[in-house]
Amino acid sequence: VLAEYVTTDAGSGCVHTAPGHGLEDFQTGNKYGLEPYCPVRDDGTYADDGRVPPELVGVTVLEIDGKNPANIAVLTILKAKGALIKSSTFEHQYPHCWRSKSPVVFRALDQWFVGLDRGGLRAKALASVGQVKWIPASGENRIRAALEGRPDWCISRQRAWGVPIPSFYSPSTGESYLDAGVVRHVAAQVAKQGGDWWWATDVSQVLSGAPVPKDWPKDLKKGSDTLDVWIDSGSSHLAVCAIHPDLHWPADLYLEGSDQHRGWFQSSLWTAIAVKGAPPYRSVLTHGFVVNEKRQKISKSDNSGKPQTADDYVKKYGADIVRLWVASENYQSDIPISDAIFETISNQYRGMRNSLRYQLGNLHDFNPSTDTVPTAKLSLIDRWVLVETAKLIREVSDACERYEFHRAAAAIAAFTTGT
Quick: pLDDT tens for 87-107. 888 888 888 888 888 888 999
pLDDT for the residue numbered 417: 80
Query: Would you say 317 and 305 are in contact if contact means Cβ atoms under 8 Å apart?
Result: no
Is residue 223 situated within a structural domain?
A: no
Is residue 194 situated within a structural domain?
A: no
Phi, psi of 255 (to 5 degrees): -135, 125
Query: Would you say 417 and 355 are in contact if contact means Cβ atoms under 8 Å apart?
Result: yes
Q: What is the mean pLDDT of residues 317-326?
A: 94
CATH number at residue 356: 1.10.730.10
Is residue 373 situated within a structural domain?
A: yes
- Report CA 96 to chain centroid distance, whole Å: 20
**Which residues span the domain enclosing 403?**
323-418
Q: Is pLDDT of 305 > 80?
A: no
Q: What is the mean pLDDT of residues 14-40?
A: 91
Is residue 108 situated within a structural domain?
A: no
Is residue 386 situated within a structural domain?
A: yes
Is residue 374 situated within a structural domain?
A: yes
Residues 6+ apart with CB under 8 A from 67: none
pLDDT for the residue numbered 306: 61
Q: What is the mean pLDDT of residues 152-179?
A: 92
Is residue 18 situated within a structural domain?
A: no
Is residue 210 situated within a structural domain?
A: no
Q: Is pLDDT of 303 > 60?
A: no
User: Which of 7-21, 130-144, 153-167 is the least confident region?
Assistant: 7-21
Confidence of residue 301 (pLDDT cuts 50, 70, 90): low
Phi, psi of 47 (to 5 degrees): -80, 155
Element (H, E) at 168: strand 168-169
- Report CA 269 to chain centroid distance, whole Å: 13
pLDDT for the residue numbered 304: 55
Q: How many domains does the chain have?
A: 1
